Every structure is written in C-alpha cells, then in structure tokens.
Structure 1
Amino acid sequence: MSNEIPLRDKIDEALRTVYDPEIPCNIVELGLIYKTEIKDNNEVFITMTLTAPGCPVAGDIVLEVQEKVKEVEGVTDAHIQLTFDPQWTQEMMSEEAKLELGFL
C-alpha cells in the first residue's frame, strides 16, 4: 500500500494557495473551481469562474492557477477554462469561507 498523496489532492492543495485579491479567501473555499479533470497522461483541465465577470485581475488569477497546477509534481500540463455559466454566487462558498467572511 502506497502512502503517496493522490494527484487530485496535490492539485487541490495547490489551488488552495491561490487567493481572490478582493476577498481574503482561497479560490477553492470560494467555490470558484467548477471542475478538475486529469487525463491519462496527467494533463490537467480545470474549469473555473470568478466572483465577477468584469474582474480586473481575471488574467492574473487564471495565470496563477495555471502556474501553480503546472508546478505540482506529476502534472504534465495545465489548461484553465474560464466560464461564467453558471454565474458565481455566495451560495457556492464553503461553510468555512462563509464563516471566515462573516456571511453566517
């Protein structure tokens, strides 16, 4: 039995280091990651959104996500797809994020 951390967990951990510049919370807890798909060759495809379509730092966040995922050991490449369907709402945030930000 291997004690190796699954690639999906490593990717999730890396994503938790990316923060929305306007909200002091990581993008996973905010509910901005819609889908993470790992292909057979360890190529990663992430579908994500932003808290607002007109986000001035959209390109920066997407680039940071791509860089952090590419740095994960075992990942061969990372592709980030930005979508606004469905549009993000505060209900998508984790309970932890809602507590942290005072929404509960």
Structure 2
Amino acid sequence: MDLEKMRDTKNLNELERVIVDRLSNVIDPELGVDLINLGLIYRADLTDEGILKILLTLTTPMCPMADVIIDELNETFVEVPQVEEVEVTITFDPPWSLDKLSRYAKIALGVM
C-alpha cells in the first residue's frame, strides 16, 4: 500500500490497519512526528511469505537517525504474528520535500 492509502485508512483490511497503526507509532527522533505524517514511508507491502517490505525516504541523505529509525521499524513488528521479517529499503527518488507532510505534521512542525 502506498502513502495515500496509509493516510486514508477507511478502506484498509484488518492486517493493513495493524501495519499502519504500528508505522504511525514510529516517531522520527529529531522531529517528534511519526513517519507516515512526515511522508517518509512511500510503500509498505506484506508478502505471502511474511516479509514486510517498507520503502522509505529520509528528510536528508545524511540523516544521522537512519539506523535508529530502521531499528525502530524492525522492533515495532516483532509482536505481529503475520510479519516474519521486516525489509527496509531507503530511497531518495523522489526526494522528500515539505509537500509530503500531512496537515497534522505541518501544524506540529509550524510549517503552515
């Protein structure tokens, strides 16, 4: 599922809701806002083999918190029985921009 679908949760099945809920609880340690509202998660797809493939970006290519965020993503899914493994891929295509922030994130960060 892509970021748009993760933000509009009314059409998600139960497992997708669990995944979005867990992703929503992973907070960027520098900005204090979750990864979905920051627009950092581009995709999250669970394979039939139980591999949760997460495609994300960072606010900058030299983000010092990348390892912390990846560790947190791995830890947040340990208790989800359908998820056997988390595979995180970082991309900068397209690069992150303020346009990716949700309304909530814009307010929280004082961007509006």
Structure 2 length normalisation: TM-score? 0.81
Q: Comparing 92-101 with 27-36, which one deviates more in the overlay?
A: 92-101
Q: Which runs of 5+ in 1 are unaligned?
A: none
Alignment counterpart, residue 102 of structure 1, candidates 95, 107, 110: 110
Amino acid at match of 2:71: L
Secondary structure of the structure 1 residue equivalent to 2:42: strand
How far off its partner does 1:42 sit? 2.6
Q: In the alignment, does 2:48 pair up with 1:30?
A: no
Matched residue, 1:41: 49
Q: In the alignment, does 2:93 pair up with 1:88?
A: no
Matched residue, 1:51: 59
Amino acid at match of 1:71: E
How far off its partner does 1:78 sit? 1.1
Contact 1:70 1:78 in 2 (8 A): no
Root-mean-square deviation over aligned CA pairs = 1.4
Secondary structure of the structure 2 residue equivalent to 1:36: strand
Query: Which structure: greater helix fraction?
Result: 2
How far off its partner does 1:9 sit? 1.1
Matched residue, 1:10: 18
How far off its partner does 1:51 sit? 0.9
Distance 1:36 1:87 in 2: 18
Distance 1:80 1:54 in 2: 17
Secondary structure of the structure 1 residue equivalent to 2:77: helix
4+ residue segments displaced more than 4 Å: none
User: Deviation per CA, 1:38-66, whole angstroms, max 9, x where unpaired?
Assistant: 11133210000111111112111111112
Q: Which runs of 5+ in 2 are unaligned?
A: 1-12
Distance 1:48 1:57 in 2: 13
How many residues align? The count is 100
- 1:57–1:88 Cα change, 3 Å: same
